[in-house]
Amino acid sequence: MAKASIHIEKRKNPNQERYNDRSIPPNYLLPEHLRKPIEVWNYADQALELKQAIVLKAQKDYSNTHNGRAFIATDFNYTGIVNLEAHHTLEEVKAYVAEFHRRYGWQCYQAVIHRDEGDPDPLEGGVTYNYHAHLEWITLDENNGESLKRKFHKNRGALRDLQTWTAEFFKMERGELVEISGHKHVDGRQYATIANAQKKRYRAKLEKEKQKAKKEAQEEAQKQYEKHLSPDQVKAQRLEDFKSLCSLAGMDSKDIPTKADEAKAGLEAGIRQLTTNLSTLCALASGGKPNTPKVVMENFTNLETAINTAYSALIEVKGLNNELTTLDKKSHRNQSARGVKNH
């Protein structure tokens, strides 16, 4: 929660009115997407026109009330900065200006609420907004053109009373007395210097975080790359896995081609033998006649079974030997039985 305070200083910036309405934006504003709308009573051109009218009238009034004496005052243009909270409106500020005029006689020609300044944190995404109003005054009496500033500053307690009244008007907590807090107000230029320094620190912190994240991403990418296998590496890995399986099966991986050739030759020999046996059995069953459809079909079925069994045996050589032996014995028994019966 912001504490109430008002700081008054002599107008130093010749373009203060345009800085106030942002027709000349200062370089310490928040990033555009974080700015909130400002509120303006009298944009720069209107404000300067009103200011000129106030000063001209004061010069005439002074001359008329001082026996034609020339108006020579120059120290009468002052800026006030009032701390606010987010809920305060321009209408409240204008009411404050009207009451200020009633109490102290100062004539305000521009009032602006700023909601586009503060301290951003790009890493956290938050903003501490600096809500405040800029008030531009001519400190000349509206009736006789005399300076009111001197009377105000001669009164030691006037500024202290002003701080208390400002807090009460805006329903805010009053700030500590400067004698206790030791706080010194910073003007626009000083604030810009501080804000720019903060931005540099934020940018440096953000850049440091970005570099850290980039380094971590590179390290993770390197780990992933090191884990990646090329096609040749995959092939070599699979070969190693195959050799391991062969070792578990009790077979040396270098003997795989030899074993495969032996199995193939054994299968072909088995098929040739079965074909010879089939031809012999068919001849015996038909009395030497080639036309024995029923017997041929039965033996072709046996042959097909034998072939399928033999192919399966390519995977398990031991099974091949057992099944071929069993089938061969069974086939011989069946054919012998048929041959005896036919005879």
pLDDT tens digit string along 74-88? 899 999 999 999 999
pLDDT band with cut points at 50, 70 and 90 for residue 249: low
pLDDT of 222: 75
Positive/negative CA dihedral, 147, 43, 1, 122: negative
| pLDDT on residue 279 | 72
* Residue partners of 91: CB distance under 8 A and separation at least 6: none
> 194-197: long-range contacts at Cβ-Cβ below 8 A with a sequence spacing of 24 or more?
195/28, 195/117, 195/119, 196/27, 196/28
pLDDT of residue 318: 47
Grouping H, G, I as helix, E, B as strand and the rest as coil, residue 107 is strand
Q: What percent of the chain has pLDDT over 70?
A: 62
E strands in 5-146:
6-10, 39-41, 77-83, 107-114, 118-121, 126-129, 132-138
pLDDT band at 181 (very low <50, low <70, confident <90, very high): very low
32-61 mean pLDDT = 96
* Inter-CA distances, 48 with 15, 103, 143, 192, 273, Å: 10, 24, 20, 24, 120
More confident residue, 33 or 283: 33
pLDDT band at 176 (very low <50, low <70, confident <90, very high): low
Please tell me the predicted confidence (pLDDT) of residue 264: 63
The whole-number pLDDT of residue 319 equals 47
Tell me if residue 113 falls in helix, strand or coil: strand
Pairing state between β 3-4 and 173-174: parallel
In the predicted structure, residue 341 carries a pLDDT above the cut 50 = no
- pLDDT at 180 > cutoff 50: no
- Average pLDDT of the chain, as a whole number: 77
Among the ranges 29-33, 77-81, 277-281, which has the highest mean pLDDT value? Answer: 77-81
User: Residues 111, 182: contact at Cβ < 8 Å?
Assistant: no
CB 75, CB 10: distance < 8 Å: yes
Q: pLDDT tens for residues 305-325?
A: 665 665 555 555 444 445 545
Q: Count CA atoms within 13 Å of residue 104 on its CB side.
A: 24
Share of the chain above pLDDT 90, in %: 39
- Separation of first and last alpha carbons in the chain: 120
The CA-based dihedral angle spanning residues 152, 153, 158, 159, taken in that order and rounded to the nearest 10 degrees: 120
